[in-house]
């Protein structure tokens, strides 16, 4: 068991590590070679692409969870509240119905996403594109993103199946290889004098390769899941098991990650190109660090779901503690590296965009640290398939919005991270943790004395000194 744990986590970290080469290789070249307007637009493209998880409507984490249940032997009629496990053997009948339902749902959402990004997305990028010296290049780049993002959305069905089946090490291993290919291609394009259009094309073509790769991995790894025409329909039993959890998760994602990304989109409409570039750059780095830190814990969710279906509480507590502990460490250390070395690094590459001032950076760091705490505990409680994302993120998101609307005039861009932190502190964190501790039959100090508390102290001491 320990060997599998290490393999999953290491491969997930490897995937993020290869993706982090963007921060080391691609982004420095962009900051050096592009003008401020191009940098702001390129970063805005990244924010919009990241919003795909909002229209996912919470289906991905829900499908990963029920797929894990089915691989543990759970019958389709019990997916919403697993009670029976048939010796841990996969229930192929349930899996075929889940996979068929998932394929249809993701196809329909991909069509919806294509329409929304083509219409609303074009409105969002209109101002930044028209600030370019050659706006036509910006519009050509945008068209490529719109077309390929629809294909990428449909591809979520293949990656969800692989994660739910606990083939995380396999998936992340191949992601690492393809990440290197994408980064190498972007590096060559930039060294050859390519602009934003060529860079977008170099990035987006690898998304197509990723979708085709995951489809191949599914076909090769699970030949029993080769769907017939009759299987490519929505199973009412499966859909009823996932719809409630999905919309709740979807609202939760929108009111947390979505609001964070929308701060960048809103600021891009009202701020100067330089200030927009600085904020979007800070947001890009902190979001990446946040995602990087998810590896030790989120790679264990399929295993934790299986433990829950088998009523193995002790394994759930030990595995989650270990994952959370490493997650906090892998968040705090990279954050502090940028906090004390980011300005010097950008100076060495003659970046046209300066590193964010310390106030903005530390406030973002604190807000996202609180988000990590609440998010991991909300994932723990979600093992029961009792989804509270819409409550936790909905209330904290409303607090965030009210704070930003009432303070932006006085605080400017600092209102965004302070609003996030206020929402997390006043509701999200304590509400999510209370539910999680109840599920695990523990309390804050007993669970966090070797998990969250030490990392919070390290972060606060670093900020003070």
Buried b (16+ CB within 10 A) or exposed e, 347-371: eeeebbbebbeeebbbbbbbbbbbb
Residues 6+ apart with CB under 8 A from 136: none
**Contact predicate 433/453, CB 8 Å:** no
**Contact predicate 368/334, CB 8 Å:** no
- Looking from the CA of 260 toward its CB, the CA atoms found within 13 Å total 27
3-state secondary structure of 35: coil
Task: Determine the pLDDT at residue 277.
Answer: 87
Which percentage of the chain shows pLDDT scores above 90? 39
Least confident residue range of 87-101, 364-378, 389-403: 87-101
Asked whether residue 1 carries a pLDDT value surpassing 60, the answer given is no
Residue 358 C-alpha from the chain's centroid: 25
Output the CA–CA distances (angstroms, integers) from residue 440 to 309, 310, 317, in the order listed: 14, 14, 7
**Contact predicate 255/424, CB 8 Å:** no
Task: Determine the pLDDT at residue 3.
Answer: 45
pLDDT tens by residue, 430-459: 999 999 999 999 999 999 999 999 999 999
Q: With the C-alpha atoms ordered 326, 328, 331, 333, is the resulting torsion angle positive or negative? A: negative
Task: Determine the pLDDT at residue 376.
Answer: 95
**Contact predicate 190/29, CB 8 Å:** yes
Q: Could you give the CA distance from residue 154 to residue 160 in angstroms, rounded to a whole number?
A: 11
Q: What angle do CA 212, 213, 219 make, to 5 degrees?
A: 90
Residue whose tokens read 């749902």: 105
Asked whether residue 290 carries a pLDDT value surpassing 80, the answer given is yes
Task: Determine the pLDDT at residue 5.
Answer: 45
Q: What is the CA radius of gyration of the chain?
A: 22
Task: Determine the pLDDT at residue 56.
Answer: 67
Q: What value does the mean pLDDT of the chain take? A: 86
Secondary element (H or E) of residue 426: none
The 8-class DSSP code of residue 357 comes to: P
Secondary element (H or E) of residue 428: none
Q: Could you give the CA distance from residue 136 to residue 152 in angstroms, rounded to a whole number?
A: 24
**Contact predicate 225/96, CB 8 Å:** yes
Q: Could you give the CA distance from residue 198 to residue 162 in angstroms, rounded to a whole number?
A: 32
pLDDT tens by residue, 86-96: 456 788 888 88
* Tokens (6 digits) for 180: 């290197």
Q: What angle do CA 218, 244, 370 make, to 5 degrees?
A: 85
Q: What is the DSSP string of 66-120?
A: HHHHHHTT--GGGTTS----STT---HHHHHHHHHHHHHHHHHHHHHHHHHIIII
pLDDT tens by residue, 300-321: 887 887 788 778 889 999 999 9
Task: Determine the pLDDT at residue 4.
Answer: 43
Q: Which of 309, 342, 300 is nearest to 23 (CA)?
A: 342
Residues 6+ apart with CB under 8 A from 446: none
């Amino acid at each position: 068991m320990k060997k599998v744990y290490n393999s999953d986590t290491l491969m997930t970290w490897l995937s993020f590590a290869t993706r982090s080469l963007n921060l080391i290789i691609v982004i420095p070249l962009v900051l050096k070679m592009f003008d401020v307007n191009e940098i702001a637009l390129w970063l805005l493209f990244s924010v919009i692409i990241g919003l795909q998880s909002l229209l996912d409507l919470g289906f991905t984490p829900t499908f990963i969870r029920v797929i894990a249940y089915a691989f543990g032997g759970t019958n389709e009629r019990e997916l919403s509240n697993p009670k029976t496990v048939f010796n841990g053997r996969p229930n192929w009948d349930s899996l075929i119905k889940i996979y068929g339902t998932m394929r249809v749902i993701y196809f329909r959402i991909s069509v919806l996403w294509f329409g929304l990004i083509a219409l609303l997305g074009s409105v969002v990028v209109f101002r930044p594109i028209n600030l370019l010296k050659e706006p036509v290049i910006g519009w050509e780049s945008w068209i490529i993103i719109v077309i390929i993002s629809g294909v990428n959305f449909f591809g979520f069905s293949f990656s969800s199946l692989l994660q739910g089946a606990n083939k995380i090490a396999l998936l992340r291993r191949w992601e690492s290889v393809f990440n290197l290919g994408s980064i190498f291609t972007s590096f060559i394009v930039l060294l050859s004098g390519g602009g934003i259009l060529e860079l977008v094309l170099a990035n987006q073509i690898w998304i197509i390769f990723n979708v085709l790769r995951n489809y191949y991995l599914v076909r090769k790894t699970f030949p029993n899941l080769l769907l017939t025409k009759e299987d490519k329909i929505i199973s009412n039993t499966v859909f009823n098991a996932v719809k409630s959890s999905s919309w709740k998760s979807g609202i939760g994602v929108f009111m947390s990650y979505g609001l964070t990304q929308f701060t960048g989109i809103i600021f891009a409409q009202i701020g100067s190109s330089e200030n927009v570039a600085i904020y979007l750059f800070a947001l890009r780095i902190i979001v990446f660090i946040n995602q990087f830190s998810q590896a030790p814990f989120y790679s264990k969710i399929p295993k934790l779901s299986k433990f829950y279906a088998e009523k193995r509480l002790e394994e759930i507590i030990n595995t989650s503690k270990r994952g959370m502990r490493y997650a906090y460490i892998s968040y705090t250390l990279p954050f502090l590296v940028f906090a004390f070395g980011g300005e010097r690094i950008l100076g060495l590459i003659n970046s046209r965009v300066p590193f964010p001032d310390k106030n903005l950076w530390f406030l973002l760091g604190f807000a996202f640290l609180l988000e990590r705490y609440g998010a991991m505990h909300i994932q723990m409680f979600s093992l029961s398939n009792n989804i509270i994302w819409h409550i936790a993120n909905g209330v904290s998101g409303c607090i965030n919005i009210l704070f930003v609307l009432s303070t932006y005039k006085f605080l400017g861009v600092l209102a965004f991270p302070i609003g996030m932190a206020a929402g997390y502190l006043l509701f999200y964190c304590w509400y999510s943790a209370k539910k999680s501790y109840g599920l695990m039959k523990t309390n804050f100090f007993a669970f966090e004395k070797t998990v969250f508390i030490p990392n919070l102290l390290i972060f606060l001491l670093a900020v003070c000194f």
